[in-house]
Amino acid sequence: MGTSPLLSLGMRAMFANQAALQTIGQNIANANTQGYSRQEVVLTTPEGQFTGAGYFGKGVNIQTVTRSHNEFLTREAAAAKSQAFMDTAMQSQLAQLEKLFPTGEDGLGQSTNDFLNALVDVASRPSDPSARQVVLGKAQQLAARFQSAGQQLADLQSGVVSDMNADVKQVNELAKQIAAANDQIARSAGSSHTPNDLLDKRDQLISQLSQYVQVSTVPNSRDGTMGVFIGGGQVLVLGGQAQQLSITPDPYDGARAQLSISDSAGTRALDESTLTGGSLTALLRYQNTHLQDARNLLGQMATAIASRVNEQQALGIDLKAQAGGPLFTIADPTVLPATTNRGDARISATVTDGALVPALSFTITPDPTGTPDSYQIAVRPGGQPTIMSNDQIKAAYGISLSTTGTMQQGDSFLLEPVANAAGSFKRALDDPSGLAAASPIVGTTDVNNKGTATIDSLYAINDKFDKSKQPATIEFGTVNPDNSINYTITLSDNTSVSGTWKAGGAIGNDPANGVDLGFELRLNGAPRAGDKIALQVSDRVVSTNNGNAKAFLTLQSEPFLGRQLQADGTLSRGQTVNEAYAAAMADIGARVQGADYLAQVSTSVASDAEATRASQAGVNLDEEAARLMQFQQGYQAAAKVLQTAQNLFDQLLSIVDR
């Protein structure tokens, strides 16, 4: 055997160690590069050469350069990152929303109380113009609070759409880069080696894409490309082709946005429920759920307060001896047709009972049976459609619908009873004398009464009060064992209504016991059998008539918000203004706390998942330093082998020359 095999062995060994040193140097250089996977040279031993003395080795081969990569850990890290970005984005958005529900003096509940408390002075001095002016000032402050909250909600909505557009721009750019990386990887598919740096780049791009929307990936074993899918299987990247996402207007409300994708079939909206993870998904859910709920909660309060105050105002008499005009105005419920509607139908809505209007949005579609004045209505989003007549809608939700034109099957409308109420809340009364502090009905006790009963308050409470049945007389009868006393109200048409009075109870307003005359009389002291009270219409305004002002004061404790129609046909209690505002604050606060917790947990999980991935794929400098010394010594030894072979070859030549 000559020196040639020894020379070959030395050269192969030097090349192998040099390749290993080059790869180690690459690892060290990229130890802090985000997304870089540690690379390693794979060395193999070639088949030995047979001789009569046995098999002799032929050195070492450089088979390929591999990267430390675990597909499962990479997917898990990307998924955890996507969830963390979604929870963090939701936390940030809800923190802004919480500021719309301040506590203490800055809250809407306190502002409503201030307005109603200002009526105390009017009740004490009904004709005092300064007291009346204070009430109008507090009314203006209340309106300004609602308008400010409505404007802030609109600003938050605009901010969401702006953020969504920015995120979509990033998603489209990342999708293009992934498609380009796929194209480069596919071109190298003919070789038996993997383009490690390109694969790292693609994995890093997919990880960045997961910040905006969670993706699923499917590798193509034939050409090495990676298919990227979103929204339950919707193609975003396939091979070297990338689809484009876009923000399109909501089919009902142009101020709101939806996520759409463009492909060969055109532009299609993506179902929010199929999207998971990422800041883009968080923004969509925040817009469609939390922000909309906040608009409805504030709008429900605005609608109920304006409706109830105006209702009581209309039941009183102002300083001009006229029925009170509206104190507040709000926009009518919004009914928006879908852009895909084919019919010429238009639907309008009006509030018939502000206490029943819910903090909800609805979709309205035609009644499939074709019944006139009937609709198919469903809570948005996700509610089950229910066929209801207009009378049923009015009884359940306090809203009356009116349709012009013809609805066709497939048409749909968005009904938002209260979404725009807060922003449109305004004070309608500017003249202090227009405040209806006087009651349309007054009463006097008979001089011959033997009891201690005096009139504490007397005012109309609803439109069932009928002036044509006045004057009337209340006569008390026998006293019952429980200290209650029977009474009979005789109206001007000689009809009578009987009831029972207890201390603290009301006369004339006891529907549960068959007394529902539209007015409410409360007493101080206690009457005795035979005592009488005369009732009559207030034909002229007197400075001492403060009945309706007292009625306003009772609104603080009256549960006139959010009443619901029960299965038995009765109405639930509802909430007072303070209870409703406290419930709204608690609702938003609970969402914020939940978002804070989820953000902390998901961020921790994402950090752990990335650490686990990096522990396998990342570069350990201590390990690389040890391997650097190992292959450096190997290179030096291979050089010594080559040097020895060279010396032997030189000696052989010198012998031949002799």
Q: Tell me the pLDDT tens digit for each residue of 170-227.
A: 999 999 999 999 999 888 876 778 898 899 899 999 999 999 999 999 988 888 899 9
Q: Tell me the pLDDT tens digit for each residue of 163-183.
A: 999 999 999 999 999 999 999
Q: Tell me the DSSP string of 39-63.
A: EEEEEEPPPPEEETTEEE----EEE
Our measurement of the distance from residue 165's CA atom to the centroid of its chain's CA atoms, rounded to an integer in Å, reads 18
* Contacts for 109 with CB less than 8 Å, ≥ 6 apart: 577, 578, 580, 581, 582
Q: How many helices (H) and strands (E) does the chain have?
A: 12, 28
Across the range 430-448, mean pLDDT stands at 91
Confidence band (pLDDT; 50, 70, 90) for 251?
Answer: confident
From first CA to last CA, the distance across the chain in angstroms is 21
Instruction: For the chain, give every domain's residue range.
Output: 4-68+619-657, 441-537
- Distance of alpha carbon 271 from alpha carbon 564, whole angstroms: 31
Q: Residue 461 class from Cβ within 10 Å (0-12 exposed, 13-18 middle, 19+ buried)?
A: buried
Compute, in degrees rounded to 10, the torsion defined by CA atoms 81, 83, 89, 91.
-120
Rounded percentage of the chain residues whose pLDDT exceeds 70: 98
Q: Are 327 and 281 in contact (CB under 8 A)?
A: no
pLDDT at 156 over 90: yes
pLDDT on residue 569: 82
pLDDT on residue 147: 94
Across the range 304-320, mean pLDDT stands at 92
pLDDT at 126 over 80: yes
Question: pLDDT averaged over the chain?
Answer: 89
pLDDT at 253 over 90: no
- Distance of alpha carbon 344 from alpha carbon 49, whole angstroms: 90
Task: Tell me the sheet residues that pair with 323.
Answer: 317
Q: Tell me the pLDDT tens digit for each residue of 268-297.
A: 888 888 888 999 999 999 999 999 999 999
Confidence band (pLDDT; 50, 70, 90) for 638?
Answer: confident
pLDDT on residue 280: 94
pLDDT at 586 over 70: yes
Sign of dihedral through CA atoms 615, 620, 622, 627? Answer: positive
pLDDT on residue 545: 83
pLDDT on residue 424: 93
Q: Tell me the pLDDT tens digit for each residue of 608-627.
A: 998 998 888 889 899 989 99
190 vs 129, residue with greater confidence: 129
* Contacts for 233 with CB less than 8 Å, ≥ 6 apart: 216
pLDDT at 1 over 50: no
Token pair recorded at residue 202: 């693609």
Across the range 485-514, mean pLDDT stands at 89
Our measurement of the distance from residue 80's CA atom to the centroid of its chain's CA atoms, rounded to an integer in Å, reads 22
Token pair recorded at residue 273: 């429920």
pLDDT on residue 215: 92
pLDDT at 76 over 60: yes
- Distance of alpha carbon 512 from alpha carbon 514, whole angstroms: 6
Compute, in degrees rounded to 10, the torsion defined by CA atoms 635, 637, 639, 642.
-140
Confidence band (pLDDT; 50, 70, 90) for 415?
Answer: very high
Q: Residue 39 class from Cβ within 10 Å (0-12 exposed, 13-18 middle, 19+ buried)?
A: buried
Give the Cβ contact number of residue 256 at 10 Å: 18
pLDDT on residue 3: 58
Across the range 396-422, mean pLDDT stands at 90
- Distance of alpha carbon 48 from alpha carbon 627, whole angstroms: 27
Token pair recorded at residue 461: 């409470």
5 vs 328, residue with greater confidence: 328
pLDDT on residue 426: 95
pLDDT on residue 657: 67
Token pair recorded at residue 591: 């969402």
Quickly tell me which residue has 């060290």 as its tokens. 28
